[in-house]
Amino acid sequence: MEATLADLCRMLEAQGMRPQAEGDASLRISRVATLEDAGPQDVSFLSNPKYERMLQTTRAGAVVLRPGVNAPAHLPCIRVDDPYAAITVLIVRLHGHRKHRPAPLNPAVTTIHPTARIGENATIHPGVTIDEDVVIGRDAVIYPGCYIGPRCHIGDRVLLYPNVVIYEDCQLGDRVTIHANTVIGEDGLGYAPVGGQWVKIPQIGWVEVQDDVEIGAGCAVDRATLGKTVIGRGTKMSNLVAIGHGTRIGEHCMLVAQVGVAGSVVIGDHVTLAGQAGVVGHVRIGDHATVGAKAGVTNTVGPGETVLGQPAIPIQDAKRQVVYISRLPELYEQVKRLERQVAELEKHRHVSQVE
* Catalytically annotated residues: 245
| Cβ nearer to a copy of itself, comparing 246 with 268 | 246
157 binds a copy of itself (CB under 8 A): no
Region binding a copy of itself by CB under 8 A among candidate stretches 17-25, 26-34, 72-80, 114-122: 26-34
Query: Could you say which residues in the range 325-344 bind a copy of itself, by CB under 8 A?
Result: 325-329, 331-332, 334-335, 338-339, 341-342
304 binds a copy of itself (CB under 8 A): no
Question: Which among 190, 296, 311, 295 is positioned nearest to 244, based on CA atoms?
Answer: 190
Question: Which among 222, 316, 317, 233 is positioned nearest to 264, based on CA atoms?
Answer: 222
With CB under 8 A as the contact rule, the residue among 30, 294, 305, 314 that binds a copy of itself is 294
Cα 113 from Cα 130, distance rounded (Å): 6
Compute the least distance from the CB of residue 240 to a copy of itself, in Å. 5
Please count the residues of this chain forming the interface with a copy of itself, following the rule CB under 8 A. 119
Element (H, E) at 220: strand 220-222
φ, ψ at 239 (rounded to 5°): -90, 155
With CB under 8 A as the contact rule, the residue among 10, 18, 59, 349 that binds a copy of itself is 349
276 binds a copy of itself (CB under 8 A): yes
**DSSP category for residue 169:** T
**How far is C-alpha 115 from the chain's CA centre?**
36
Cβ distance 255 to 232 under 8 Å? no
With CB under 8 A as the contact rule, the residue among 80, 136, 231, 256 that binds a copy of itself is 256
| Cβ nearer to a copy of itself, comparing 25 with 338 | 338
φ, ψ at 195 (rounded to 5°): 55, 40
Region binding a copy of itself by CB under 8 A among candidate stretches 3-11, 52-60, 62-70, 119-127: 119-127
| Cβ nearer to a copy of itself, comparing 73 with 328 | 328
| Cβ nearer to a copy of itself, comparing 76 with 145 | 145
Write down how long the chain is: 355
Query: Could you say which residues in the range 64-103 bind a copy of itself, by CB under 8 A?
Result: 82, 84-85, 87-88, 91-92, 95, 97-98, 101
Cα 97 from Cα 100, distance rounded (Å): 10
Cβ distance 181 to 217 under 8 Å? yes
Report the amino acid identity of residue 196: G
Query: Could you say which residues in the range 196-235 bind a copy of itself, by CB under 8 A?
Result: 196-202, 204, 212, 214, 216-220, 222, 225-227, 234
Cα 258 from Cα 242, distance rounded (Å): 7
315 binds a copy of itself (CB under 8 A): no
